[in-house]
Structure 1
Amino acid sequence: MKKISTALLLSTACAFPAFADGHTADWPESFTVGTASQGGTYFAYGSGWANLVATELGLTGGGEVTGGPMQNMALVHTGEAQFGMTTMGPAAESLNGTNPIAPGLAMDNACAMFPMYQTPFSVTALSSSGIASISDIPAGARIGFGPAGSTSDTYFPRMMEELGVEFERRNGGWTDLGGQLQDGLLDVIAFAAGVPVPAVSQLEVQTDVNIIEFTAEEQAQILEAFPVSPFEIGADTYTTLEEDATSVSMWNFAIANCDLPASFVNAVVEVVMSDNERMVNIHRAARSTTPDNWDKNGVLMWHPGAAQWFIDNAGADIPADMIHGE
C-alpha cells in the first residue's frame, strides 16, 4: 500500500538533528495537551507526558484541565489545543457531527497520534451503603458520572439504563465526586478512566469502599449494546480487590491537530513511545502505551508524522487512505 510522501520522509528524517539544537523553524514554541478533570487518569497521564515532551524537546508545554474526550476533540480540531486525548467512542461521534459541544460539525481536523490505554468502566460505592453489585443499586440512586461530555458521562448512563438501573444523574470532576461519595451526597460513582483511578485510590485510604464488577451476563449485555471490549481490572490495581474484577473497556488515543508539522508530531511520538518504563512511571495505565497497539485505532485519520513513526518503528501497515492528507 502507498505510505507517506518522500517530502514527509525527508522532513521527518531531519527532525531529530534539528531539535537537538532547539527546534525547527516551523515548530510551535509552546503547546497544550487537553486532558480532563483533576483527580482522573487523563489529567495525571496527560500532564505527565506533556511535561516529558516539553523537557525533552526544549519547549514550553503542559496539560490543561478540560471536560474530557468530547471537549478535547473540539479543542484539537479548532487548534485551541495542539494535542489532546480521547476515547474511540467520542472520537467516532465527533467525526460524525454528533459531538454535543458543536452538533453538526464534523471534527475531522483531529488526528490520531499514539495509543494510550484501555479505559475500563467501573462502579464504586462505600461499603457502608450495602451496594455490592449492580443489582443492589436502588431506584433513584444518585450516581456521579464524571464531567459533562466525558466518556463516563457519554456512555455510562446508557449502560446503566441498559442494565435496568434507575438513577439521578450527577456530574462533576472526579475529585469532587469522590468527596461527595464520602460525604454521603452520592450513592455511587460510575468511572470510565484508566486504572488505578486516583480518586478511587484516595478513597481507599480514607474509607472502606466496594469496587463493583459486572456479572458475566451484565458484561455480555453491555458488549452487545456498546462499542466496548471485555476487560479485567487486575487484583493488584486496588487494595480493596481480592481478585480480578470483570469489566468492559474502550481504547484511548492521544490526538494532534492535523495541521501541525509532521516532524514535530514525529518527534513527540518518539519521546512518548521510545521508553515505556518512563511512561509507566508517570501512570501505571501506560503499560499499554506500546507501539504494537497502533492497530487499536480504527476511527481517526492518522497524523502523517505519527503514522511515519509507527511505520518505521512498529512495522505498522497503515493504509494511505487512513493518513491525513494522503
Structure 2
Amino acid sequence: MKLQSLLAASFASALIVSASASAQDRSDWPEKFTVGTASQGGTYFAYGSGWAHFISENLGVSGGAEITGGPMQNMALVHTGDLKFGLTTLGPAQESIDGNSPLAPGMKMDNVCAIFPMYQTPFSVTALAGSGIKSISDIPDGAKIGFGPAGSTSDTYFPKMMDALGVKYERRNGSWSDLGGQLQDGLIDVVAFAAGIPIPAVSQLEVQTDVNIIGMTDEEQAKILKNFPVSKFDIPASTYQSLDQPSHVVSMWNFAIANCDVPEDFVYEITKLTMENNDKMVGIHKAAKSSIPENYSKNTVLPWHPGAARWFNEHGYKIDDSQIK
C-alpha cells in the first residue's frame, strides 16, 4: 500500500508539474485568432474556415475565418496585426513586400511570415456551354469577364494575362459565388477563376447547368509562362464532371502566413498540427493534398516564422537562419 501510495503521489505530482508547464508554455498565446481568407464560393474561404476550426478544436484557442478581398488584403491585414493569420499567393505577396500593393502603395509589408505550404492556384476560364466559348481565342471582343474580388490573385494577374493573349474585355469584380450566379443568368460571359481546385463555385455551377472549363493551348501557355511568375499545371479530369481530359493551365503557389510577432510556440504547435495531419486537412478541402512539408521549398518570397521554421528544421526540411524572420 505504501508503494502504491508513493506511486500515486508521484503520478499526481507529475501531472501538476506537466499542467503547470503547459500553462506556462501558453502564457503568451493569444486568447483567440482570426484567419483572413477571401470571398465565399472560393477555395480560400472553404480551406481557411475549415483550417481555423481544426486548429481551434485541437489547441483549445478560439478561432475563426474572416471574409476578405483575398491574398493582397490578407498581406496588409496580417502585416499590420489586424489579423494574426491569413492565406496568400506568392505573386501578390512579393508585390506587397516590395511596397507595390495597390491597397497601400509604398508600404513595404515586411512583417508577414510564412508558416506552411498550401496548394497551387490554377488560372482557368469557365463559360456556359451554350455560349459557344470553348477556348480563350473564342472569347469575343467586349466580353464581360468576372475576375473575382478586387485585389484578389485572379483580379491582380488574370486581366494582365488576358491582355497578353490579346483578349479585349469589360472587367467585372465580385465574389466567386456572385460571379457564378451572374454567369448562369447571362449577365457576364466568362469567369476567369484563380483558386484551388475544385472551386466550390464551379462545382455548384456544374450541378445547375452545362459549362465549359477552358484551358490554354501550348502557345498561350508558353506566352504566359514567359511573362508571369507562374508554372505549368494540369487540372485533372477527375476534378470536374465537365472535364473529359486534363486541362492545361498555369498556376501560382499559396502559403499560409502569420504576423511575425505571433508567439513562436503557438505557431510551432499550429505548424506541427497542420503538417502532421494531412488526412484531416484533405478532409477540409481536396486542394490540401499539396499541403505537405515537402512543398516548403516552393516559398521563394516570404521569410519564415521562427515557430514554423523550428518544426521544419526538426523534421529535416532545412530552412537557413537567413530565411527566418
TM range (shorter): over 0.9
Q: After superposition, where does 1:37-116 map in structure 2 within 5 Å?
A: 37-116=39-118
**What amino acid is aligned across from residue 154 of structure 1 in structure 2?**
T
Seen in structure 2, the aligned counterparts of structure 1 residues 18 and 189 have a Cα distance that, compared at 3 Å, is farther
* Aligned equivalent of 1:183: 185
Aligned to 1:13: none
Contact 1:22 1:57 in 2 (8 A): no
Gaps of 5+ in 1: 1-15
Q: Is the 8 A contact 1:85 1:255 kept in 2?
A: yes
Inter-partner Cα distance in structure 2 for 1:308 and 1:239 = 42
Asked if structure 2 preserves the Cα contact closer than 8 Å seen for 1:147 and 1:153, the reply is yes
- For 2:273, the equivalent position in structure 1 comes to 271
User: What's the CA shift for 1:319?
Assistant: 1.6
What's the CA shift for 1:318? 1.2
Counterpart amino acid of residue 63 in structure 1: A
Give the distance between the partners of 2:20 and 2:103, measured in 1 at CA.
38
Evaluate the alpha carbon distance shift between residue 258 and residue 210 of structure 1 in structure 2; reply closer, same or farther with a 3 A threshold. Answer: same
Q: How far is the alpha carbon of 1:61 from its aligned partner?
A: 0.4
Greater C-alpha Rg: 2
Post-superposition CA distance 1:103-138 (Å, at most 9, x none)? 000000010010000000000000000000000000
Offset of residue 17 of structure 1: 7.3
8 Å contact from structure 1 (residues 33, 83) kept in 2: yes
> The residue matched to 2:307 in structure 1 has which SS?
helix
Deviation at 1:238, TM superposition (A): 0.2
Tell me: CA distance 1:216–1:129, structure 2 relative to 1, closer, same or farther (3 Å). Answer: same
| C-alpha spacing 1:312/1:18, structure 2 compared with 1 (3 Å) | farther
User: Deviation at 1:317?
Assistant: 1.7
Q: 1:239-263, CA deviations, whole angstroms, 9 ceiling, x for partnerless residues?
A: 0000100010000000000001100
Alpha-carbon separation, structure 1, partners of 2:189 and 2:25: 51
Q: Which residue of 2 aligns with 1:198?
A: 200
List per-residue Cα deviations over 1:172-195 (Å, max 9, x = no partner): 000000000000001000000000
Looking at structure 2, the residues matched to 18 and 154 of structure 1 have their Cα atoms a distance apart, in angstroms, of 49
1:57-100 deviation per Cα after TM superposition (whole angstroms, max 9, x unaligned): 00110110000000000000000000000000000000000001
CA RMSD of aligned residues (A): 1.3
Letter in 2 for 1:297: N
Tell me the alpha carbon deviations over residues 194-231 of structure 1, each in whole angstroms, 9 at most, x when there is no partner: 00000000000000000001001100000000000000
Output the CA distance in 2 between the equivalents of 1:213 and 1:17. Answer: 55
Aligned pair count?
A: 308
Matches of 1:20 and 1:271, distance apart in 2? 16
Identity of aligned residues (%): 66
Cα distance change on mapping 1:182 and 1:19 into 2, 3 Å: farther
Quick one: distance in 1 between partners of 2:121 and 2:140?
26
Q: Report the equivalent of 1:8.
A: none
Q: How far apart are 1:271 and its partner, in Å?
A: 1.3
Q: Is the Cα–Cα contact under 8 Å of residues 22 and 58 in structure 1 kept in the other structure?
A: no
Instruction: Give 1:26 deviation, angstroms.
Output: 0.2
Cα distance in structure 2, aligned partners of 1:102 and 1:18: 44
For residue 319 of structure 1, what is the amino acid of its counterpart? D
Query: Could you tell me which amino acid in structure 1 is paired with residue 88 of structure 2?
Result: T
Gaps of 5+ in 2: 1-17
Amino acid at match of 1:316: Y
